Structure 1
Amino acid sequence: MSMNTEYAKTAPERAEIDALTAPTVVEFGTDWCGHCRAAQPLIAQAFQGHGDIAHMKIEDGKSRALGRSFRVTLWPTLVFMLGGKEVARVVRPRDAAEVRDALALIDEPLAQ
């Protein structure tokens, strides 16, 4: 799976996210968020070469349970998961290296 470009309007249940075994990035934000839009080229650059990592973009907001369960307070927030557990988190990335470093934490087990 490659990087998604649009935020999903409906979110899966937290139990579904926790049950994922494959390396996954869950990104919280909105289409209208300036920080989210500014981060997209950095995220896309970091994802190059990591096409096997699932990327879920979830629209977030005050009444959105999934974002609250991850204690998301700023957008975009990227949660890097492996085996249903959070391994790393990047909030409002300022460069592709931040995202790339976190991707490496969940991609390395695949190479072993």
Structure 2
Amino acid sequence: MPYAAQHLVQPPSRDEVDQLAGTTVVEFGTPWCGHCQRAQPLIEGALKDRADIAHIKVEDGPGQRLGRTFGVKLWPTLVFLKDGKEVERLVRPQQAADVQQALQALAG
């Protein structure tokens, strides 16, 4: 499941995220966030051909619990998981190299 362009209608629970097998990038943000919009080409470029990495795009904000369980404070925040455990975190990526470097942490 490579790059996901749309936010999930119903985000997974924290228990579901913790149970994920393999490598996953959970992206927290909103469709209207300027920082999120600017980061999309970087995220898409890094994930579009990566069928080995699941991308879960979660709309964050008031009343959205999943982001709070991860301590998300700024958007976009990308949490890189291996078998449900956080390996790396990237907040407001500015360059494609930032995302690539975080993806390399998943492989290591």
Once the 2 structures are TM-superposed, how far is the Cα of residue 49 of structure 1 from its aligned partner? 4.2
Structure 1 residue runs of 5 or longer lacking an equivalent are none
Residue equivalent to 2:21: 21
RMSD: 1.2
Task: With the length of structure 2 as denominator, give the TM-score of the two structures.
Answer: 0.94
Residue equivalent to 2:40: 40
Structure 2 residue runs of 5 or longer lacking an equivalent are none
Q: Deviations over 1:52-110 (max 9, x none)?
A: 1000000000211000000000000000000110000000000011111111121x26x
Task: With the length of structure 1 as denominator, give the TM-score of the two structures.
Answer: 0.91
Give the count of matched residue pairs: 108
> In the alignment, is residue 105 of structure 1 matched against residue 105 of structure 2?
yes
Once the 2 structures are TM-superposed, how far is the Cα of residue 6 of structure 1 from its aligned partner? 0.8
* Runs of 4+ with deviation above 2 angstroms: 48-51
> In the alignment, is residue 76 of structure 1 matched against residue 40 of structure 2?
no
Residue equivalent to 1:89: 89
CA contact (8 A) 2:2 2:49 kept: no
| Bigger mean CA offset, 40-49 vs 9-18 | 40-49
Percentage of pairs with the same residue: 53
Residue equivalent to 1:64: 64
> In the alignment, is residue 50 of structure 1 matched against residue 36 of structure 2?
no
